[in-house]
């Protein structure tokens, strides 16, 4: 499945890595593309959207959509 999440609070490369690693811990085969300027995270994953959003939120980022 393809998901697009709006993620607030990503300000640097470290933030991008934290979000990517959070998703890939849940689904190691997931593809993550981040557009920090747009606060957008595009994810290709077999996991449900809610689980992916929860994993990102657990890292301290606000998922708004």
Give the residue extent of every domain in the chain: 2-64
What's the pLDDT tens digit per position in 25-42?
999 999 999 999 999 999
Label residue 21 by pLDDT band (50, 70, 90): very high
- Distance from the first to the final alpha carbon of the chain: 16
Q: Is the pLDDT of residue 6 over 80?
A: yes
Whether CATH 3.10.520.10 fits 2-64 = no
Global pTM value:
0.93
Label residue 63 by pLDDT band (50, 70, 90): very high
Interatomic CA distance for residues 44 and 26, integer angstroms: 12
Return the half-sphere exposure (C-beta side, CA atoms, 13 A cut-off) of residue 26.
25
Identify which of 24, 31, 19, 2 has the alpha carbon closest to the alpha carbon of residue 63. Answer: 19
Q: Is the pLDDT of residue 65 over 80?
A: no
Interatomic CA distance for residues 53 and 17, integer angstroms: 15
Interatomic CA distance for residues 27 and 31, integer angstroms: 9
């Amino acid at each position: 499945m393809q998901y697009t999440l709006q993620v607030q609070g990503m300000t640097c490369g470290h933030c991008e890595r934290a979000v990517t690693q959070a998703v890939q811990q849940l689904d190691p085969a997931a593809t993550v593309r981040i557009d920090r300027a747009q606060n957008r995270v595009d994810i290709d994953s077999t996991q449900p959207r809610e689980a992916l959003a929860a994993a990102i939120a657990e890292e301290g980022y606000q998922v708004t959509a």
